[in-house]
Amino acid sequence: MKLTYKTMLFALLLFSLNSIGLVVQAQPVAVDKMAYNFYIVSDAGRNGYYKQKIVAATMGELAENVHPKFIITSGDTFHYNGVRSTSDPLWMTNFESIYSHPELLVDWYPLFGNHEYRGNTQALIDYSKISRRWNMPAHYYSFTKKVDAQNSIRFVCLDTPPFLKEYQLLPDQFPDVAKQDTRKQLIWLDSVLTVSKEKWKIVIGHHPIYSVDSLHGNTVELINQLDPILRKHHVDFYFAGHIHCAQHIQKNGMDYVVSASASLRSSTTFRHDTLYQDPSEGFTICSVKNGTFEFIFVNEKGEELYRYKKTK
């Protein structure tokens, strides 16, 4: 092949970007299948369109080796208008038939996103009585998992849409937001974390507290109301979604992690004051073993984008 001046210049530019860390070649993900593994997926619900089916298939294929114990879905599982009832056809076309791989037939722990609030939020709670794998006991809830004799994890699943003024000001579009008592939720969160004796404390909400994208940015309401409680109790990780891109931010001695969209990437632009950011569609694998908690961003091809470990 004849190398033109432009081709050589492009190759030199690509090499330079790689050398300073702005371009990273994705590699097939490697996960310790003997560890305690689980998935976090967010912003997936597109009725099978865009890349939802592709990401779901990759989740299933990797699960054959990863063997996730459970899956947390951090909101917006049902774009665009939530569900109307427990018999809404979207349950089948957007969830049950999409995540049909045998290794994905584990417990799912869902959260509310803003798009669920466009529909019937109670229907998502009631569906727990219908689906074997859908576990949503309330608008916000907590559960624990024992990893081994030395490791246990406290998970706290929050309901963040009611905190945001933009939804409170649109009762016709988000009718169930006004029914929620955010002060009560914060008191509950503080009480749960106060009595928690687990080694790892993981809090999950749909909306990020901090974000470096130009479209959404930081969530002021959560910075003012939620973040002080998390820092008070030395929470290890706050996982979120909503902005349709993967991000890892460290601030105030805490790790703020945003999972990628499992169906459609963001078209926003970003600032470079974060440990990592990538708009690729995908999901997050979490792995716990021997006092180490690790999360891995994976794209729709099953390639590793970013990996971070915390040990204590």
Active site residues: 216
User: CB neighbours of 250 closer than 8 A, spacing ≥ 6?
Assistant: 256, 275
For residue 173, count other CB atoms closer than 10 A to its CB. 12
Our CA angle for 244, 249, 254, nearest 5°, is 125
Cα–Cα distance measured from residue 250 to residue 92, given in angstroms and rounded to the nearest whole number: 38
Cα–Cα distance measured from residue 175 to residue 49, given in angstroms and rounded to the nearest whole number: 27
CA distances from 245 to 27, 42, 235 (A): 19, 10, 23
DSSP string, 230-299: HHHTT-SEEEE-SSSSEEEEEETTEEEEEPPBSS------B-S-SSEEE---EEEEEEEETTEEEEEEEE
Our separate counts of H helices and E strands in the chain read 8, 14
Per the rule left: phi > 0, alpha: psi between -120 and 50, beta: everything else, 67 is left
Per the rule left: phi > 0, alpha: psi between -120 and 50, beta: everything else, 217 is left
Judging by DSSP bridges, how do beta strands 152-157 and 107-110 pair with one another? unpaired
For the chain, the first-to-last Cα distance in angstroms comes to 53
Nearest C-alpha neighbor of 208 from the set 165, 167, 237, 174: 237
